Amino acid sequence: MFKKVFIFIVLIGFALILVESYNFTGSGEELNEIATRYAEKGPDEVGAANLVGAVLVTYRGLDTLGEVAILFLAASIIGFFLKVKLEEEKVPRKVRKTSEILETASKIITPVIFLFGIYVFLNGHLTPGGGFQGGAIIASGLVLMLLANPIKKVNHSIISIVESISGFAFVFLGILGIFLASGFLDNSFIGLGDFGKLLSAGAIPIIYIFIGLKVGSELSGIVSNLQETQKEEI
Residue of 213 and 149 predicted with greater confidence: 213
Of 138, 151, 135, 133, which Cα lies nearest the Cα of 110? 138
Distance (Å, rounded) from C-alpha 19 to C-alpha 224?
41
Query: What value, to the nearest 5°, has the Cα angle with vertex 27 and ends 23 and 32?
Result: 90
Q: Is 154 helix (H, G, I), strand (E, B) or coil?
A: coil
pTM assigned to the model: 0.79
Predicted local confidence at residue 193, as pLDDT: 84
The span from the CA of 58 to the CA of 186, in Å, is 6
Percent of the chain with pLDDT over 70: 86
Residue 86: the pLDDT is 43
pLDDT at 89: 54
More confident of the two residues 85 and 158:
158
Cα-to-chain-centroid distance, residue 26:
29
Model pLDDT, residue 184 = 87
For residue 112, pLDDT over 90 is answered with yes
All residues at 6 or more sequence positions from 73 whose CB lies less than 8 Å from its CB, including other chains: none
Q: Which of 44, 217, 60, 228 is nearest to 139 (CA)?
A: 217
Q: pLDDT category, 118, cuts 50, 70, 90?
A: very high
Rounded distance between C-alpha atoms, residue 80 and residue 204, angstroms:
33
**Burial of 153: CB neighbours in 10 Å, binned 0-12, 13-18, 19+:** exposed
Tell how far CA 99 is from the center of its chain: 30
Gyration radius from the chain CA atoms: 22
| pLDDT given for residue 148 in this prediction | 85
CA distances to 98, 118, 196 from 59, in Å? 47, 24, 19
